[in-house]
């Protein structure tokens, strides 16, 4: 069933649970609040602890369960966790980072494991804008490839985009790219920058509302 069509009694369960499975990530995004680092944190939940968490989510019958990070692809047990969730009846969404780790083979393995949705970030319609925001050259190209591979594998896509000062000049083009994603069956999801994010990229409330209005039309 489409999770958007499920009615929830919030006194019994949340609509969504998000597990930050790792702090490890090879990107260096301007807005990162995860204190991401290249290596995984040894205090992360083990595979067995993760499976117990998933079992609890299954018992609560939470409609949407998201594995995020850091970069969840950094965890070698990611596929095992997704298989475990699928068998327990938990619908899993994933937000990987667009790096060299996100290959065509990985995306097809995610599909085989039972991934329900792949969310990918697109923060500019130019390589230059997106890659500068994400702190790695090649990230824009990998994002576009990942969208293609997910379509090929038959995984529904959700496009995340950050509304901020960095993309003021590319907002129209980004809107066009996101329209294309929406037409291709993807859902568009946008973030606003938080107050505590760096002033260099943070929009004023008025400018934020203007971007929001523009994107609402996508």
Q: Which is nearer to ligand SF4, 123 or 155 (CB)?
A: 123
Minimal distance, residue 32 CB to ligand SF4, in Å? 3
Instruction: Name which position in 21, 27, 78, 120 contacts ligand SF4 (CB under 6 A).
Output: 27
21 binds ligand SF4 (CB under 6 A): no
Instruction: Name which position in 36, 78, 159, 203 contacts ligand SF4 (CB under 6 A).
Output: 36
Q: Of 165, 206, 181, 197, whose CA–CA distance to 32 is shortest?
A: 197
Asked if 111 and 4 count as a contact pair (C-beta separation under 8 A), the reply is no
- Listed in order, strand segments (DSSP E) in the chain are 16-20, 64-68, 92-94, 117-121, 157-163, 187-192
Residues near ligand SF4 (CB under 6 A), total: 11
Instruction: Name which position in 70, 72, 124, 175 contacts ligand SF4 (CB under 6 A).
Output: 70
Asked if 85 and 65 count as a contact pair (C-beta separation under 8 A), the reply is yes
- Contact residues for 33 (Cβ-Cβ < 8 A; gap 6+): 194, 196, 197
Minimal distance, residue 58 CB to ligand SF4, in Å? 26
- Signed CA dihedral, 193, 196, 201, 202: sign only: positive
β-pair partners for 16? 64
Q: Which is nearer to ligand SF4, 27 or 157 (CB)?
A: 27
CA dist 147 and 169 (Å) reads 24
Q: Among the candidate windows 20-28, 76-84, 85-93, 159-167, which touches ligand SF4 by CB under 6 A? A: 20-28
Instruction: Name which position in 63, 69, 175, 186 contacts ligand SF4 (CB under 6 A).
Output: 69
Minimal distance, residue 26 CB to ligand SF4, in Å? 8
25 binds ligand SF4 (CB under 6 A): yes
Q: Among the candidate windows 27-35, 108-116, 141-149, 187-195, which touches ligand SF4 by CB under 6 A? A: 27-35
Asked if 18 and 66 count as a contact pair (C-beta separation under 8 A), the reply is yes
Q: Of 15, 116, 13, whose CA–CA distance to 63 is shortest?
A: 15
Q: Which is nearer to ligand SF4, 36 or 157 (CB)?
A: 36
Tell me which residues touch ligand SF4 (CB under 6 A). 25, 27-29, 32, 34, 36, 69-71, 97
């Amino acid at each position: 069933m489409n999770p958007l069509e499920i009615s929830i009694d919030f006194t019994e369960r949340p609509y969504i649970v998000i597990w930050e499975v790792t702090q490890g990530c090879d990107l260096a995004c301007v807005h990162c609040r995860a204190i991401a680092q290249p290596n995984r944190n040894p205090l992360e939940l083990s595979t067995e602890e993760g499976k117990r968490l998933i079992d609890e989510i299954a018992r609560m019958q939470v409609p949407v369960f998201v594995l995020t990070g850091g970069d969840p692809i950094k965890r070698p047990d990611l596929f095992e966790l997704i298989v475990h969730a699928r068998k327990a009846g938990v619908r899993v969404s994933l937000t990987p980072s667009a790096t060299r780790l996100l290959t065509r083979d990985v995306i097809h393995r995610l599909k085989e494991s039972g991934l329900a949705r792949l969310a990918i970030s697109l923060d500019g319609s130019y390589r230059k804008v997106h890659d500068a925001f994400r702190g790695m050259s090649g990230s824009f190209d990998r994002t576009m490839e990942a969208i293609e591979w997910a379509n090929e594998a038959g995984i529904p896509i959700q496009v995340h985009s950050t509304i901020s000062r960095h993309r003021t000049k590319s907002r129209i083009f980004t809107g066009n790219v996101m329209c294309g994603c929406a037409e291709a069956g993807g859902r568009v999801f946008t973030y606003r920058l938080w107050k505590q994010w760096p002033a260099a990229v943070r929009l004023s409330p008025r400018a934020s509302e203007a971007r929001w209005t523009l994107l609402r039309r996508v």
